[in-house]
């Protein structure tokens, strides 16, 4: 049921993804602000299928050299490729950043016991500026294998980027910067090198007061 | 073909790409 309705290939389901800022208010209280968030509830048969986006429309926003989006897509499998448009919530209202933690958490599910490698590339004008590679082992739980990347610290580049972005005076200026900022996440099977999920993230700032929002699309070649 | 430096607004993307979803 996940396939075609969420970020899920035939081998791996993304259950949760969030980038957040956490601040300790007092010894017992933590404030957590979500910049972006995907929390997928279990799909039902009536849920709509994802819309498709032609990968050619976004190629230039991501690295195109060896191991780039085009080469990955050619290798397939085609059901593993997604585009996520985030409306990020930058209303953190945190002035004093001392004691703040910037992190990313994500969780995946599979019917198979694998070792997964998660590569996250931050791109500016389509060129990679930083990459983080993480390896995760499965935990068997309730008849399925879960992979959890828990509170991975955001790199210095991203912390600085967010800091500058949220201090821009107007949303249109933030969106102008975000037009050339993208993230490419590739989750693969460490032992076979098979692509399990490839997610291209693009961003705008949220105009509402209801937190981060997102749309998910299938990437296809028309 | 690559769109090059064509602004995102001018690319062939679904209408929903520009509509911030309402919170559920």
pLDDT on residue A65: 78
Collect all residues of chain B within an 8 Å Cβ-Cβ radius of residue A217. 14, 17
When pLDDT is averaged across residues A65-81 and rounded to a whole number, the result is 91
The interface pTM score, or ipTM, of the predicted complex is 0.87
By C-alpha distance, which of A193, A201, A190, A216 is closest to A67? A193
User: How many residue contacts between A and B have a Cβ separation below 8 Å?
Assistant: 44
Average pLDDT over every residue of A3-26: 90
Among candidate residues A51, A69, A35, the one with its CA nearest the CA of residue A204:
A35
When pLDDT is cut at 50, 70 and 90, the band that residue A19 belongs to is very high
Q: Do B3 and A213 touch (CB under 8 A)?
A: no
Q: Do B1 and A56 touch (CB under 8 A)?
A: yes
* Alpha carbon distance A77, A75 (integer Å): 7
Chain B: give the shortest CA distance to residue A38, in Å. 12
Q: What is the pLDDT of residue A116?
A: 98
Q: Which of A18-22, A100-104, A199-203, A206-210 has the lowest mean pLDDT?
A: A206-210
Q: What is the pLDDT of residue B4?
A: 56
- The per-residue pLDDT for range A114-168, each reduced to its tens digit, is 999 999 999 999 999 999 999 999 999 999 999 999 999 999 999 999 999 999 9
Q: Which is more confidently placed, A142 or B4?
A: A142
The set of residues, in sequence order, having a beta carbon less than 8 Å from that of A182 and lying 6+ positions away, is: A61, A62, A122, A123, A126, A200, A201, A202, A203
């Amino acid at each position: 049921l996940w396939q075609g309705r969420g970020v899920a290939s035939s081998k791996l389901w993304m259950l949760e993804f969030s980038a957040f800022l956490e601040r300790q208010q007092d010894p017992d209280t933590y404030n957590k602000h979500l910049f972006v968030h995907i929390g997928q509830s279990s799909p039902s048969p009536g849920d709509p299928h994802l819309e498709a986006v032609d990968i050619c429309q976004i190629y230039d926003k991501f690295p195109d050299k060896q191991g780039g989006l085009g080469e990955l897509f050619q290798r397939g499998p085609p059901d593993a490729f997604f585009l996520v448009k985030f409306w990020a919530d930058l209303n953190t209202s945190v002035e004093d950043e001392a004691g703040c933690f910037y992190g990313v958490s994500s969780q995946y599910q599979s019917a198979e016991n694998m070792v997964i490698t998660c590569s996250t590339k931050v791109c500016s004008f389509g060129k990679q500026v930083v990459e983080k590679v993480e390896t995760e082992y499965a935990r068997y739980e309730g008849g399925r294998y879960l992979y959890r990347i828990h509170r991975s610290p955001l790199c210095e580049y991203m912390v600085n980027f967010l800091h500058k972005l949220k201090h821009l005076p107007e949303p249109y200026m933030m969106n102008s910067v975000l037009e050339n900022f993208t993230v490419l996440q590739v989750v693969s099977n460490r032992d076979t090198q098979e692509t399990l999920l490839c997610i291209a993230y693009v961003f705008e700032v949220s105009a509402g007061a209801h937190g981060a929002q997102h749309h998910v699309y299938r990437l296809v070649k028309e | 073909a690559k769109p090059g430096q064509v602004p995102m607004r001018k690319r062939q993307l679904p209408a929903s790409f520009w509509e911030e979803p309402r919170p559920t």
